[in-house]
Amino acid sequence: MRILFSIRSLLMTLVMLTLSAASFAQTSVAVSITFGPPELPVYEQPLCPGDGYIWTPGYWAWGDDDYYWVPGTWVLVPEPGFFWTPGYWAWSDGSFIFYEGYWGPVVGFYGGINYGYGYVGHGYEGGRWDNGHFYYNRSVNNVNVTEIHNVYNTTVINNTTVTRVSYNGGNGGINERPTPQEEAAAHQKHISPVPAQIQHVQAARATPALRASTNLGKPPVAATPRPGALNDRGVVTAKEGGRYNPPARSENNAARPSTAVHPKDLPAITRPATGGTGNPNVDKKYQQDQEKLTARQEQERQKLQQKQDQEHQRLAQQKADEARKQQLEQQHQQQTQQLAQKHAQEQQKLQDRQQPPHQNPPKPPKEKP
Read off the pLDDT of residues 31-40 as tens digits, 9 standing for 90 and up: 667 788 999 9
Evaluate whether residue 158 is within a structural domain. Answer: yes
- Contact between residue 160 and residue 112 where contact means Cβ atoms under 8 Å apart: yes
CA torsion angle 324 327 331 334 (round to 10): 160
Global confidence as pTM: 0.63
Total domain count for the chain? 2
**Does one domain contain both 292 and 183?**
no
Evaluate whether residue 210 is within a structural domain. Answer: yes
What residues in the chain have per-residue pLDDT under 70?
A: 1-32, 158-162, 248-260, 269-278, 348, 351-369
**Does one domain contain both 73 and 154?**
yes
Evaluate whether residue 236 is within a structural domain. Answer: no
**Does one domain contain both 214 and 287?**
no
Which range of residues forms the domain containing residue 331?
263-354
* Res 12: pLDDT: 40
* Res 232: pLDDT: 87
Which of 224, 249, 282 is at the close of a domain?
224
Evaluate whether residue 173 is within a structural domain. Answer: yes
In one-letter notation, the amino acid at residue 12 is M
* Res 278: pLDDT: 65
CA 82 → CA 23, 59, 134, 156, 181, distances in Å?
A: 14, 21, 9, 21, 16
